[in-house]
Structure 1
Amino acid sequence: MALYAELHRHLGGSVVPRILWRYFHRSDAELAQRFPEYNSFEDFYTRPRNTLDEYLELHTLVESVQTSETLPYFIYRLIRGAYIFENLAYLELRYTPYLRTPEHLSQSQRIDLMREIVEIVGKASQLQDCPTVASQILCMHSRLPYEVNRAIIDLAVEKREYVCAIDIAGGDAHYRDRLDDIIQLYEYARSRGLNTTGHLYETPDGCYPELLPYLMRIGHGIQIPLLHPELLPEVARRGQCLEVCPTTYLKTGTLTDLHQLKVVFDRCFEAGVDVAICTDNAGLHNVRLPFEYENLLTLDVIGFEELQACQEASFRHAFAWPYRDRPASLLNGLLKTETSPALAASS
């Protein structure tokens, strides 16, 4: 029975090392020669980096092979693994469609091809044997031109059957010089009725209070409780949820120890701010969502009641979950209904 919701997972970082390495050796001679042995590749792919920018460079390795031809291959394995090994009932996949189009084409040609990418991802995510509800979040990018980012918003509006929200990615330290443009893009997205999230307050260099009013959820957001707890009452008033991805902060050098997240959770719970626990890049981390839960519990960062509250928040803040209740509630109701006659007969 699938029980969990994943609100923050990148398509580029979701491919587990073994599947990516096998693809190289079956289909890409250059990359296969670069990584002849699996163990050395896994070590390269999953080891911690010193900064967020260094960490994000790994996405380019995967983006280069996630083309219109290969995306169904990767997504089938992604959804199958999420359903079987992670018990995911709901999954939001985020990515920048422009970065899955051929680099040699003109900007206008690449913009036109983004529609095909979204349709391929949408159709490939619908597996009969793995009934996880999947939707897409399209990421604007801090290093893409304004025209491309606006086209991403227009595509999200056009493809609502596949797309549930928009995001901004590319390293939060790079927003400063383009803040006016980013605000304008979010204003436009909200005017078109789109749901919004955004990579914000992930690192100390990514603290932009000007962007907060435009977001329905906050991608990461851990620096709010860590460095700017005075903002928490306003975050609670807006009903915003933090998408906290524990392992990411170790891999990017943002935190040195997961115990540091205890302050994040404690201050959020005290202020009435919802937190969803996510993986961000499950493949890059070699860590699946249930292990994120287990790590936080084992380290006493949260308790079981807090974990349950976070799991409930994930479904409550899911942009495209089609049901009123989370799966655990539905299962509990079903089991009670089925056992009641037997209990009555035995009494």
Structure 2
Amino acid sequence: MITKEIIKRLPKVELHHHLDGAVRPSTIIELAEKNNIDLPENEPEKLADWFHRGADRKNLALYLEGFGVVLQVMQTEEALTRIARENLEDLAEHNVAYAEIRFAPELCVEGGLNLESVVEAVLTGLKEGKEKTGVSFGLILCAMRDRQNSLEIAELAVSFRTKGVVGFDIAGDEHGHPPKKHLEAFHYIQNRNFNITIHAGEAFGVESIWQSIQVCGAHRIGHGTRLLEDMSIKGTHIERMGTLSHFIRDRRIPLEVCLSSNVQTGAAESIDEHPFIIFYRNNFRVLLCSDNPLMSNTTITNEHIIAAEHYHLDISDFEKLTINAMKSAFAHYDERVRIIYDVLKPGFKRIKEEIHHID
């Protein structure tokens, strides 16, 4: 078992990280005071505990309730820029080399901003964060699956593709809102040679994963936990796979796994019963992600620690997971190669040599 300190020092890649799910409690309080917004708690630790308790109710819809509080303070350019910058600063503390941050711009227009101003403010903050920390980034724009304007958000994403936006997603409660209802938006993205990731297989079954890939053209799947229903399992060995599982593994379609949040939303009964280790040991391309650090009381480092403690992963496993994550990023090929060979591989080699020297 490698130590928590070593795990924190490992280079990392984060591909499923929500902007509004990773705001510092102290920042929420400061912005709320500035804008006369009432909060359920007014001390950082107590507010953090409030979010944690609210998220851990084994239901995705209940898990999402806390976002309504956070979004109240994300309605000005100043706030959005600050929150985006702090997101990268916090990821840098965990040695993240590359991160894809996602959010829904339409949830940040209650204060009078238009969609373009919202995206520009977030990109400004991310660029400031990169300049300060060296963390490379891509921004993913989410449409809300219970709304009817997904094409507008898809067009918005493509219009910012040369300014830092790298992909398109739909988010929100899966029940009653299948991805195929947003087919026009996904076809628009496909026709513009752009990137798609879709939340699927979290609160709804294999059908949502199939739709996301075969109907909507997803290049990655957010969560994908329910893919387990397309398999027969003995221990960690897959005895039989359905055609969808074969297709996902054969085509190396990445699954953005978020261990803590999957248990909190009820997508998995427990960490030990989470299908991550089944997917990983059977050569699916799985990625470790934090999802919503504020709600889930986690970090990308903590998700690695959980994997080490529950699944007995070692440094070589984490190197494989991290390089697979970078291969799966929506950054351009030359950027992916640069980070793998100039940052990730040297970082892992250095730590392996340190451990070997200590041993």
TM-score by length of 1: 0.84
The residue type paired with residue 125 of structure 2 is A
**Total equivalences in the alignment:** 320
Indicate which of 162, 165, 168 corresponds to 1:163: 165
Residues of 2 paired with 1:202 and 1:163: CA distance?
25
Counterpart residue number, 2:316: 305
CA RMSD of aligned residues (A): 2.5
Contact 2:94 2:300 in 1 (8 A): yes
Question: Residues 312 and 332 (structure 1 numbering): CA distance in 2 closer, same or farther, change over 3 Å?
Answer: closer
Counterpart residue number, 2:51: 45
Residues of 1 paired with 2:10 and 2:272: CA distance?
29
Question: Residues 153 and 221 (structure 1 numbering): CA distance in 2 closer, same or farther, change over 3 Å?
Answer: same
3-state SS, counterpart of residue 168 of structure 2: strand
Residues 20-63 of structure 1 deviation map (CA, whole Å, 9 limit, x = unaligned)? 23433x4243425x423444322211121231011112112112
1:87 equivalenced with 2:95 (yes/no)? yes
3-state SS, counterpart of residue 99 of structure 1: helix
Counterpart residue number, 1:329: 345
Residues of 2 paired with 1:159 and 1:259: CA distance?
41
Indicate which of 230, 239, 243 corresponds to 2:256: 243
Indicate which of 54, 67, 76 corresponds to 2:85: 76
The residue type paired with residue 71 of structure 1 is L
Counterpart residue number, 1:220: 223
Question: Residues 181 and 302 (structure 1 numbering): CA distance in 2 closer, same or farther, change over 3 Å?
Answer: same
Shift of residue 153, structure 1, vs aligned partner:
0.9
Counterpart residue number, 2:276: 264
Residues of 2 paired with 1:278 and 1:204: CA distance?
20
Shift of residue 206, structure 1, vs aligned partner:
6.8
Counterpart residue number, 1:152: 153
Contact 1:141 1:168 in 2 (8 A): yes
Question: Residues 205 and 239 (structure 1 numbering): CA distance in 2 closer, same or farther, change over 3 Å?
Answer: closer
The residue type paired with residue 250 of structure 2 is R
Q: Which blocks of at least 5 consecutive residues in structure 1 are unaligned? A: 336-347
Indicate which of 328, 331, 335 corresponds to 1:320: 331
Residues 251-292 of structure 1 deviation map (CA, whole Å, 9 limit, x = unaligned)? 21222310112x43224442x320110000012222111111
The within-5 A match list for 1:53-68 is 53-67=61-75, 68=77
Shift of residue 119, structure 1, vs aligned partner:
1.3
Contact 1:232 1:268 in 2 (8 A): no
3-state SS, counterpart of residue 255 of structure 2: strand
The residue type paired with residue 173 of structure 1 is H
Greater mean deviation of Cα atoms: 221-230 or 241-250: 221-230
Shift of residue 186, structure 1, vs aligned partner:
1.4
Shift of residue 138, structure 1, vs aligned partner:
0.5
Indicate which of 1, 15, 21 corresponds to 1:7: 15
Residues of 2 paired with 1:56 and 1:318: CA distance?
25
Contact 2:180 2:211 in 1 (8 A): no
Question: Residues 285 and 267 (structure 1 numbering): CA distance in 2 closer, same or farther, change over 3 Å?
Answer: closer
Contact 1:183 1:211 in 2 (8 A): no
Contact 1:118 1:162 in 2 (8 A): no
Counterpart residue number, 2:34: 27
Residues 73-130 of structure 1 deviation map (CA, whole Å, 9 limit, x = unaligned)? 21222211111x2111111110111111126x6xxxx7xx111111111121113221
